[in-house]
A and B are shown apart, each in its own frame.
Chain A
């Protein structure tokens, strides 16, 4: 009782199977199996994305139904409860220790900004915006200060945060609703300078967000952030 006879050969059967997967028509076992196949096959992923985006045009068929207000506290508790859980035991400092470091770090950040302002500026910078971002994240001890003085480069100063074995810190620029753009892997525990690529420069300015994620050695393999955010901060004018 095989229906494979019904299909127009292999490719047709394959495409119909992915469509059935997207529609949710497969049995649990088959759904899981096709899910794994899709995850490991570029062409099948493209086929899945094809169906997802085409069927999405039917979403207008879903009527809006207000969700009861009382649901929000449950969502908040579950969502934010998770973020407070340590990502890697041993890597994160305790919140208490982090808080005690934070006060000192802030002082260093302020000092760093002040120091920067005292530096003789190159001519170009006197005409451009001075920008600063303090990068931090609750639950993480990673802290950086980023300074931009109009030279096309961001200077990063690591205030705290240890290197993680087999992992790298990767810096991202997030501008408006755009995808994070990688600005490359940055070293832990030291100063570094990152050049601003043209696509970042296009939207660069106050309101841009810099974020640091923990990625596999050498940076995210996919070009999009894959690991947890260990520090972030909005770029501000000074």
Chain B
């Protein structure tokens, strides 16, 4: 896969972190912390919480650097995923108990699986194209769920619809999105 030079450098720094190279860890931090701080700040929407979170995120990156598999995702996407998931974990812990009333009770047997994820660079633009096939407010809801980590409750309030309507919207939109992305 043809990685861009900056991407290859970040991948190299992650690999060196896996080998416990502390200078590489510092370089990785200098290189990527603004992006990852942007991620946790946008999701947590609280500066002091974000400052605490970003420290935990980099500790995780140091500890899990050996789990990064080059080629599956771009290195920066992997780092963003670590930061985003950590911020979402914090949100989940903070939220009042959500009702689990209509979650699927079991996952049915797997159907055909999607093809192995292609490199992000090839996907750039594609998700935008597919989002544009959704109704604008639903596309915005999906984007808000991803970028801001909005819950169903928050989305329902933002779009002034009942909670279950929002769930139905979102699930249908995700299935439509998947259809478009795999077409």
Residues of A within 8 A of B (CB): 1-4, 6-8, 10-17, 19-20, 23-31, 34, 37, 41-44, 46-47, 49-50, 52-68, 71-72, 74-75, 78-80, 82-83, 137-138, 174, 176-180, 209, 211, 224-225, 229, 232
New A-B contacts (4) at CB < 8 Å, excluding given A23-B146, A47-B113, A75-B55: A59-B77, A83-B62, A211-B19, A225-B18
Look across to chain A and name the residue whose beta carbon is closest to the beta carbon of B34: A64
Q: Do most interface residues of chain B lie in helix, strand or loop, or is the interface mixed?
A: helix
The residue that A13 contacts in the complex, of B84, B108, B110, B142, with Cβ under 8 A, is: B108
Point out the residues of chain A lying under 8 angstroms from B20, CB to CB: 83, 137-138, 229, 232
Closest 3 CB pairs of A and B: A10-B108, A43-B110, A177-B11
Q: In the assembly, what is the distance between CA of A46 and CA of B72, in Å?
A: 11
Q: Is B2 an interface residue (CB 8 A)?
A: no
Q: Is A65 in contact with B34, judged by CB distance below 8 angstroms?
A: yes
Between A and B, 14 residue pairs with Cβ closer than 8 Å are A7-B171, A11-B110, A23-B174, A43-B110, A46-B113, A53-B72, A53-B118, A53-B120, A54-B117, A54-B181, A56-B80, A62-B147, A180-B66, A229-B66
| Given A2-B102, A67-B34, A82-B59, A58-B127 contact (CB < 8 Å) | yes
Contact with A along B118-156 (1 / 0, CB 8 A): 101001111110000000000000110111010110000
Interface flag for B81 (CB, 8 Å): yes
